[in-house]
Amino acid sequence: ETGVTQTPRHLVMGMTNKKSLKCEQHLGHNAMYWYKQSAKKPLELMFVYSLEERVENNSVPSRFSPECPNSSHLFLHLHTLQPEDSALYLCASSHEADGNEKLFFGSGTQLSVL
């Protein structure tokens, strides 16, 4: 158990669907992140939240919409996705969002867009 819980573990959705990924951290951290991991590509940072405020948005298409209602919860709302968005979506947390902190990753959501 890593202290960062993601649901669902697997998700299959059509291009017209709307779905949400959920992440919860039980570590008392102040920063939370969404990463995308595609086959044969490096981990890509999507969003960073520090104390519930978005501090980084790494040129992500608007069909991905993050939400951080409090420091323990992070959502990624998905709508009108494309097949190339199929990937493993990883949530992570750290004590602070200064880039020098250890990241704790969740188990990820394997997303398939049909």
Give the residues lining the site for other proteins (CB under 8 A). Answer: 2, 31, 40-45, 48, 50, 55-56, 58, 90, 97-100, 102-103, 105-108
Q: Which is nearer to other proteins, 41 or 69 (CB)?
A: 41
Q: Which is nearer to other proteins, 16 or 98 (CB)?
A: 98
Q: Which is nearer to other proteins, 12 or 15 (CB)?
A: 12
- DSSP one-letter string for 27-81: S--SEEEEEEE-TTS--EEEEEEETTEEEEE-S--TTEEEEEEETTEEEEEEES-
DSSP assignment letter at 85? G
Report in angstroms how near the CB of residue 105 gets to other proteins at its nearest.
Answer: 4
